[in-house]
Amino acid sequence: MHPTPRGVEAGRLDLLDRRLLFFTGKGGVGKSTVAAATALLATARGKRVLLVEVDAKGNLTDFFEHSHVGFDPVEVQPGLHLMQMRTDASLREYLRIHVRVPVLGGVGPFANVLEFVANAAPGVKEILTVGKVCWEVRESIEGRAPWDLVVVDAVASGHVIAQLDSPRAIHELVQVGRIREQTERMSELLASPEITALNIVTSAEEMPISETIDLVARARSELDVPLGVVVVNRLLPEPFTRADEPVVAALRTAPAAELLEARVGPGAEAVLDAAALAASLRRSRVPHLTRLRATVDLPMVNLPYLFARDHGLRAIHLLADALGAELDS
């Protein structure tokens, strides 16, 4: 069992006190959004942050309303740098730094060899991704990189175990040499509860909750990476309680409905319909949340559904504010 992370035993979430935060979750629950909001919150609190997009889809640049970025970190907000992981570039960097091999990317047949090794050999793609992240964290700890925190928008929950387990797997395969020493250092960094946390993003629906429960169990049995928090994203508001239902029902009957329409204008009935639907949807998800809380003994962070037309910088700021309020409560 992992040691209890600093601060959790006192009831305070210390998510931002670590140096390396991974965010994973079932596809569609908003893990990239939460990772971006976490990075933005950390910069607002004075930290210098590197945000890493592992799958390189380019979604994170949209959140910050910034043009495309690549493997080299680019400042997209004051104090917040963003990079997109490329395994071929990570391999080139590794060869240049650790093996002292000068590599001219994209030139000649050697480039094809790099691409094959980075993307086809079993476990190499994962170790190059995790290795690059660990390298940035280690450099920052030793004062050679500016980051106070590295936030990783990791792969989805179905693949994250293999990705985070890759240093151990490679370490067992390689018995001697520099690679064995390096993977051992990676494993030590990933296993430190003072440095690293794997955080799971979910939503209050049956499938994401089930996948979260399964992932927590697998992570504890198959990984040495400490678990951080479970983020329940896109929670619908509760516009009224069950005790308020008779009042809401009365407002939808004459003459109260006519009076309400006269006072607030057309559309009052539609607003009541929407509120009733929101209340119904929220209550239908309560059993799933109850099951999650009863099964998973990790700190829970609740984030609201954002009724926003876009998913740009304004929305990320709103979510970062909500995250900050949750962590401080």
Residue 251 lies inside a defined structural domain of this protein: no
Q: What is the pLDDT of residues 285-326, one digit of tens each?
A: 999 999 999 999 999 999 999 877 667 899 999 999 999 999
pLDDT at residue 250, rounded to an integer = 78
Residue 61 lies inside a defined structural domain of this protein: yes
Region of poorest pLDDT, from 84-98, 150-164, 315-329? 84-98
Query: Do 167 and 138 form a contact (C-beta atoms < 8 A)?
Result: no
Residue 260 lies inside a defined structural domain of this protein: no
Highest mean pLDDT: which of 60-69, 125-134, 209-218? 209-218
Q: What is the pLDDT of residues 259-288, one digit of tens each?
A: 878 888 787 778 888 878 878 888 889 999
**Which residues, at least 6 apart from 97, have a Cβ–Cβ distance to it below 8 Å?**
none
Two tokens, residue 198? 């794997």
Q: If we measure between CA atoms, which residue out of 95, 82, 171 comes closest to residue 126?
A: 171
The angle that helices 178-191 and 157-173 make with each other, rounded to 10 degrees, is: 140
Output the domain CATH number for residue 22.
3.40.50.300
Split into its structural domains, the chain has a count of 1
Residue 276 lies inside a defined structural domain of this protein: no
Helical H runs in the chain? 31-44, 59-63, 87-98, 108-119, 124-141, 157-173, 178-191, 206-222, 245-251, 256-264, 268-295, 313-328
- Domain range enclosing 142: 8-237+296-328
Residue 57 lies inside a defined structural domain of this protein: yes
> Cα–Cα distance between 254 and 97 in angstroms, integer?
77
Residue 265 lies inside a defined structural domain of this protein: no
Query: Do 225 and 196 form a contact (C-beta atoms < 8 A)?
Result: yes
State the burial class of residue 294 (Cβ atoms within 10 Å of its Cβ: 0-12, 13-18, 19+).
exposed
Residue 275 lies inside a defined structural domain of this protein: no
Residue 102 lies inside a defined structural domain of this protein: yes
